[in-house]
Amino acid sequence: MAYVITDSCVACGTCLPVCPVGAISEGDIYHIDPDTCIDCGSCAETCPSEAIVPGE
């Protein structure tokens, strides 16, 4: 199950370099491509605003 980025995202970019498969795209609020995400949780561990959570 892919991780998702919530509205708490402040677009700081901390998650981008830690994603091993490049599933995160930039924007006002970042987005994780659910088809690319391998559910490793690296992004959630590094997010300073706790905006990345497991998807449903």
What pTM value is reported for the model? 0.90
Q: 1-56: which CATH topology?
A: Alpha-Beta Plaits (3.30.70)
10-47 tens-digit pLDDT: 999 999 999 999 999 999 999 999 999 999 999 999 99
Half-sphere exposure at residue 41, Cβ-oriented, CA atoms within 13 angstroms: 2
| Rg of the chain over all Cα atoms, to the nearest angstrom | 10
Contact (Cβ atoms closer than 8 angstroms) between residue 44 and residue 22: no
The Cα–Cα gap between 13 and 24 comes to: 10
pLDDT at 46: 98
Between CA 35 and CA 12 the distance in angstroms is 23
Per-residue pLDDT, 1: 81
